[in-house]
Amino acid sequence: MPDSPAQSPSSDAARRLPRPWDNPAQVPFIQIKGLSKRFDDVTAVNDVSLDIFRGELFAILGGSGSGKTTLLRMLAGFEQPAAGSIVIDGVDMTPVPPYERPVNMMFQSYALFPHMTVEQNVAYGLRKEGLPRADIARRVAEMLALVKLGSLGGRKPDQLSGGEQQRVALARALVKRPKVLLLDEPLAALDRKLREHTQFELMNIQDQLGITFLVVTHDQEEAMTLATRIAVMNAGRFVQVGTPAEIYEFPCNRFVADFFGTVNLFSGRVAGNSGDTLSFRADNLPGVICAPATTCQTGDEAWIAVRPEKISLSKAPPAGSDENVFRGMVWDLAYYGNLSLYQINLDGGHIIEVSVQNRVRSAQRVAEWYDEVYVYWGKQNSVVLRE
């Protein structure tokens, strides 16, 4: 195991050299090839392939039963794949038992040993490596200081708060300086305020140590704020892999669009596809929706997705272009302080969601219940989805 965590040059390289995944010359750090796992008659992971690069903070996002935890457990070595291989840093991990893999895991339940103190928990992995006592003591102290638990070393896990337990679990996994740290829902057990704080702390520590992090989560917000890249998983397969912005702004299908944040979906058919504009006739909506041109053919069945914050709202028809302008009535509204959420019942019966930033301090609202309003958005904000 390399003995130089923080100043690992490759991690800096990963940060400086943006998007190593776009560089075909870059060798992936973790290579997952054709991985499958079956439990009785359920296929949990189905022929999955993925490259992860050194220093990445990669998130696998999926609902329960999507296969994400099984994938993580195969990486840790707790499950044997039915097919496929996992290569970490050039070494095939398939025949390596979990206790010999250069991989450590932070469990969702934290799995702290209740009969050991915080120090004993953190030291456990180093003791199993057979390091000299003095080295162990030094590294445990360093790691506890890093996660800001320096004074709690003598406590038992049940004397700690949830946030402290989470940090012990992190320290215990990190102290072995693994090549890859696996995190199973690292923030799920924390309350909202603590999550936000911990999120930044995690990113900080990852940045300092340069260890490749692989996070599994069901929380799209957590994935988006933490990760360099995200793989969206459903029914044992990856649906889309990309940076958070790519996935949010350019979802590849309705599942991804819907999984990430809120989205307004219109079903219908392509009415025309010429020049730089695609025109789309949505079911039960008067007029056409414009979108950037794609490879679709006229008459194809498709969907248009528009994010609520991409839509503008006004009581008078907007001046200038009449592209993507639709009339409707305020059906419901909710005030959140920083923004207001409107539900607009469009002519034709679609109910769409529009969020409006409250940028001016005022007790007045743009529109009230049952006001007639106009919604509009630039055509580049329409996403055409084929499935």
Partner 1 sequence: MQNRDMPLPVSGRWWRAGAIAIPYAWLLLFFLAPFLLVFKISVADPVVGQPPFTALFPGGGSGLVHISWDNYRFLFEDNLYPVSYLKSVQIAFVSTLLCLLLGYPLAYAIARARHPWRNVLLMLVILPFWTSFLLRVYAWMGVLSDHGLVNNLLLWLGVIERPLKILYTDLAVYLGILYSYLPFMVLPLYASLERLDPDLHDAAEDLGAGPLTVFRDITLPMSLPGIIAGSLLVFIPAIGEFVIPSLMGGLDSLMIGRTLYEEFFSNRDWPMSAAVATVLLLILVLPIMVFQRYQVRERAGVQ
Partner 2 sequence: MNRRYPPFLIGVLAFAYAFLYVPIVLVIVYSFNDSRLVSVWGGFSLRWYRALLENEQVLRAAWLSLRVAIVSATVATVLGTLAGIALTRMGRYPGRFLFTGMLAAPLVMPEIITGLSLLLLFVTLQDLIGWPSGRGALTITLSHITFCMAFVAVVAQSRLAAMDAALEEAALDLGGTPFRVTLDITLPLIMPAMVSGWLLSFTLSLDDLVITSFVSGPGASTLPMLIYSKVKLGLTPDINALATLIIVMVSICVGVAGWLMYRRPVPQRV
Q: Which residues bind partner 1 (CB under 8 A)?
A: 76-78, 97-100, 103-105, 107-109, 111-115, 124-125, 128-129, 172-173, 176
Each residue 48-87 as x (binds partner 2 by CB under 8 A) or -, in order, gives: ------------------------------xx--------
Smallest gap, in angstroms, from Cβ of residue 169 to partner 1? 8
Smallest gap, in angstroms, from Cβ of residue 39 to partner 2? 6
For residue 314, which phi and psi values (nearest 5 degrees)? Answer: -155, 160
Smallest gap, in angstroms, from Cβ of residue 79 to partner 2? 7
- DSSP letters for 202-250: HHHHHHHH--EEEEEES-HHHHHHH-SEEEEEETTEEEEEE-HHHHHHS
DSSP state of 111: -
CB under 5 to 8 A by kind: which of partner 2, partner 1, none does 177 bind? none
The enclosing H or E element of 83 equals strand 83-88
CB under 5 to 8 A by kind: which of partner 2, partner 1, none does 93 bind? none
Residue closer to partner 2 (CB basis): 39 or 250: 39
Smallest gap, in angstroms, from Cβ of residue 37 to partner 2? 9
Q: Record the tokens describing residue 13, joined without a space.
A: 């390289």
| Alpha carbon distance 231, 203 (integer Å) | 18
List CB contacts of 222: < 8 A, sequence separation 6 or more: 59, 187, 195, 199, 215
Residue 335 touches partner 2, criterion: CB under 8 A: no
Cβ 280 vs Cβ 270: under 8 Å: yes
Each residue 12-41 as x (binds partner 2 by CB under 8 A) or -, in order, gives: ---------------------------x--
CB under 5 to 8 A by kind: which of partner 1, partner 2, none does 39 bind? partner 2
| Alpha carbon distance 220, 210 (integer Å) | 24
Residues that bind partner 2 (CB under 8 A): 39, 78-79
